[in-house]
Amino acid sequence: MSQTGDRLRVILANPRGFCAGVNMAIESLERALQIFGTPLFVYHEIVHNRPVVDRFTRKGVTFVDTIDEVPRGATVLYSAHGVSPAIREAAATRNLRAIDATCPLVTKVHVEAIKFAKEGYHIILVGHEGHDEVIGTMGEAPHAMTLVQTAQEVAALPFSRETKLAYLTQTTLSVDEAREIIDALKGRFPDIASPKKEDICYATQNRQEAVKALVREVDLVIVLGSRNSSNSNRLAELAKTNGKPGYLIDTAAELNDAWFEGIGSVLITAGASAPEDVVQDCLRVLEERFGATVENRVVREEHVSFPLPRELTMVSN
């Protein structure tokens, strides 16, 4: 707490939390449960958020890491991060009822990858190795794609300036980090082709913009989100880049009183896959422990929504 004895001041960042793609994926899973019941399988986590996954697990949903874990003829829902063509083919071979809850902004990157590959480009994908979205995107053109994670890796790419190259990016990257890598690519390969519209999603950019705009006013940043959530990690990193302590937590139970010693003000935000109830739980704890006062700050409005997959609307209609 503040050494002056003042009440803890909390700035609540807006926008925060669920994006349109996450809302669509979660609503899709809720609707699938209503229509088909259990057993119901999801390929990978529906979104990268532990409380959300735990909630659906308690409802009887089974999350799997391989399509072979899904019994033949069963119902499987693809997560918001998308899947490769090989997974779709395996699901068809197993006669699975597949529901595609891939975020449309991820699908956009997949379509771009297919287009560039058909046009004879070698694609440089800017992203994080092992991330579900990256695995799915690379699966669209595995023989025509190279992953780059840092600007330093650009210098080691085994291509000449004459190579027909294009770049794409994971949708949940740090805007600043992606720009640094893209600048390095353009510096080394001036003719590299780019997507018509940048791939980093609106929600990732907006949440990062809100932290950048508000972090100077506070002593500490708390980000609600899971450790395997790329966009949530980027928010915590932004705090540290701006010289402020930043903690990434799943729930209010992880709040540590020691973090608030000598602290007068806190910024609270949430990654695009973190539900609002965990934010509100966090606020209640801070109000109970430190008499926190909460100030809502809107940096940018969001009015984006995506329709449910046709596999659900066709059945429900």
Residues with catalytic function: 133
Write 86-94 long-range contacts (CB < 8 A, 24+): 86/139, 87/43, 87/136, 87/139, 91/67, 94/67, 94/68, 94/70
DSSP state of 193: B
* Cα angle for residues 232, 84, 151 (degrees, 5° grid): 50
Q: Which residue has the tokens 């990062």?
A: 208
The partner residues of 210 in beta bridges, in order of sequence, read none
**Cα separation values, 273 from 29, 195, 233, 255, 311, Å:** 14, 25, 12, 19, 23
Interhelix angle for 202-214 vs 175-188, to 10°? 110
**CB-CB neighbours of 11 under 10 Å:** 21
Cis-peptide into 307, omega within 30 deg: no
- Which residues, 6 or more positions from 277, have their beta carbon under 8 angstroms from its beta carbon? 51
